[in-house]
Amino acid sequence: MNYRRLGKAGIRVSELSLGAWVTFGNQFGEDLAEQLMRLAYEAGINFFDNAESYAAGKGETVMGNVLKRTGWRRESYLVSTKLFWGLNQGVNQKNTLNRKYLLSAIDPSLKRLQMDYVDIVFCHRPDPETPIEETVWAMHNLIERGKAFYWGTSEWSAYEIVSAIHLAEKHNLHKPISEQSHYNMFTRQVMEKEYLRLFKEHHYGDVVWSPLASGVLTGKYNQGVPADSRVAFPGMEWLQESVIKPDRIEKVRQMTPLANELGCSMPQLAIAWCLKNPYLSSVILGTSRVEQLQENLGALNVVDKLTPAVMTQLDQLLANNPTK
């Protein structure tokens, strides 16, 4: 496993990390979660991603119980959670980054995780209703109160992130250190174009999600929707329309012979392709089976096979390079 600095922060995260969305507390419970986390940790993964909203809080509960059982030293791994969507109905309690919400939502998250602090807390989405200055102060206070070591953003625009950095600099507050962005072979615009100056001039970190486009890039949807797949899971039908599209399936079909030539699988190719981006620190994996995680960890051995010539070939197949 290789480790990369998280932007300008002093901490280093494993290039591959493990997340809880859809899976922990939804598709499976503690037993499989423990097998996956142990496999990940033994492979050198030191970063586990979560959010208050995953499985309506159960994602954190499952991860917290597993971490307690493992007895791993708290210093040896990083855990993140994300706040924004909220678990309760009502004004000021959902879809918000207001000060009252942020400073009260972190405690139930920590309780579910059975931790005194998370390493990174992300603002799960931007909140156009709350002044960015209010959010920056709240995140600073949350860190000062010892609830988290660092804070970050997820799916914020470059403008919103730079505004937060400038406000933090102006008031001498803790700055956000990292984004959590959607990034894969099909979704490139933000990571490869919009954020470029953010990465180059502010050395902002990024840990990226859905590297397999919810599984589409594995080829598992080439022949239709398998009954045991994510998009067939009750409550996840909405995902089907947004991720499974004929042109994507066609591109996966076209890339598969190249994966075969390189001696790897499609998921390994797609994950290794993400790792070629020098501005991201970690690719967050999602897996619903031990075999999937074993296979996806193999992506680390594929990165060196992605020579400039192979990357050009992939670029031509994908036909979506936002800088061209």
Residue 231 Cβ vs ligand NDP, minimum distance, rounded to whole Å: 7
Q: Is 49 in the site for ligand NDP (CB under 6 A)?
A: yes
**Two structure tokens written together for 113:** 């995780």
292 belongs to the binding site for ligand NDP (CB under 6 A): yes
Query: If binding is defined by CB under 6 A, does position 152 make contact with ligand NDP?
Result: no
Cβ proximity to ligand NDP: between 110 and 295 the closer is 295
**Which of these is catalytic: 3, 41, 54, 221?**
54
Q: Does the protein bind ligand NDP through residue 135 (CB under 6 A)?
A: no
Tokens, residue 57: 């809080």
Among 61, 81, 135, 214, binds ligand NDP (CB under 6 A): 214
- Which residues contact residue 250 at a Cβ distance below 8 angstroms, ignoring those fewer than 6 apart? none
- Angle among Cα 240, 244, 249 to the nearest 5 degrees reads 160
**E strand intervals along 244-315:** 282-285
Of the residues 6, 15, 21, 202, which one makes contact with ligand NDP according to CB under 6 A: 21
Residue 150 bears catalytic tag: no
Residue closer to ligand NDP by CB (options 86, 166) is 86
From candidates 164, 230, 255, 274, binder to ligand NDP by CB under 6 A: 230
Segment 257-286, which members bind ligand NDP (CB under 6 A)?
267, 284-286
Nearest residue (CB) to ligand NDP, 9 versus 212 = 212
Q: What is the DSSP letter of 304?
A: G
Return the H-helix or E-strand segment holding 209: strand 205-209
Token pair of 70, please?
């493992």
Q: Does 53 bind ligand NDP (CB under 6 A)?
A: no
In sequence order, the 6+-apart residues with CB closer than 8 A to the CB of 304 are: none
210 binds ligand NDP per the rule CB under 6 A? yes
Provide, rounded to whole angstroms, the least separation between the CB of residue 136 and ligand NDP. Answer: 19
One residue of 81, 135, 178, 218 binding ligand NDP per CB under 6 A: 218
Q: At what angle do helices 290-297 and 266-275 cross, to 10 degrees?
A: 50
**Residue selected from 137, 295, 299, 306 as contacting ligand NDP according to rule CB under 6 A:** 295
State the CB neighbour count (10 A cutoff) for residue 182.
Answer: 17
Interatomic CA distance for residues 183 and 154, integer angstroms: 12
Q: Least distance in Å: CB of 228 to ligand NDP?
A: 7
State CA 117 to chain mean position distance. 19
SS3 call for 4: strand
Is 211 an interacting residue with respect to ligand NDP (CB under 6 A)? yes
Residue 59 class from Cβ within 10 Å (0-12 exposed, 13-18 middle, 19+ buried)? buried
What is the rounded distance in angstroms from the CA atom of residue 302 to the CA atom of residue 284?
A: 17
* Residue 205 sits in the site that holds ligand NDP (CB under 6 A): no
* Cα–Cα distance, 31 to 254 (Å, whole number): 37
When asked if residue 64 is in the footprint of ligand NDP (CB under 6 A), the reply is: no
Residue ranges in contact with ligand NDP by CB under 6 A: 19-23, 27, 49, 124, 154-155, 180, 209-215, 218, 220, 229-230, 267, 284-288, 292, 295-296
Catalytic residues: 54
